[in-house]
Amino acid sequence: MDKYFPLILLALAAVLLFVLPARQRKRMQAQQQSMRDSLAPGTPVMTTSGIHATVVDKGEGTVDLELAPGVVVTFAQQAVLEVRKPAGELPAAPAEPDVPGEDGPDGRPSDGLR
């Protein structure tokens, strides 16, 4: 048994270094592909270069993105990094700003900072 121990460790290391990352990479590629398949006109996205835009049209391997009103550019679908939340879904700002010295909503004095 002792003479096979290094061979067993080598096989275990090969599994950890080659098989597990390959499975994770395959899963991530499947997630990216499903995200690209779900692109539809009106979807806000961010490209791999950090450009925020809205999908206008989707072609065979390409996607047309509107950067500003009337400015449409064509990207490869692989350049779309993620789907962003629409701007209307941002958290709401507080109705009244805190004033130093007044009590906050939890009853403690406020320092005026958020």
Each domain of the chain, given as residue ranges in start order, spans 1-37, 40-86
Burial class for 80, CB neighbours closer than 10 Å (0-12, 13-18, 19+): buried
Q: What share of the chain is helix, strand, coil (3-state, %, to 5)?
A: 35, 25, 40
Tell me: the pLDDT tens digits for 51-105?
A: 999 999 999 989 999 999 999 999 999 999 999 886 666 555 555 555 555 666 6
pTM above the 0.95 mark? no
Burial profile 49-59: b = 16 or more Cβ within 10 angstroms, e = fewer: eeeebbbeebe
Tell me: the pLDDT tens digits for 14-55?
A: 888 887 888 888 998 898 888 888 889 999 999 999 999 999
Coil, helix or strand at residue 101: coil
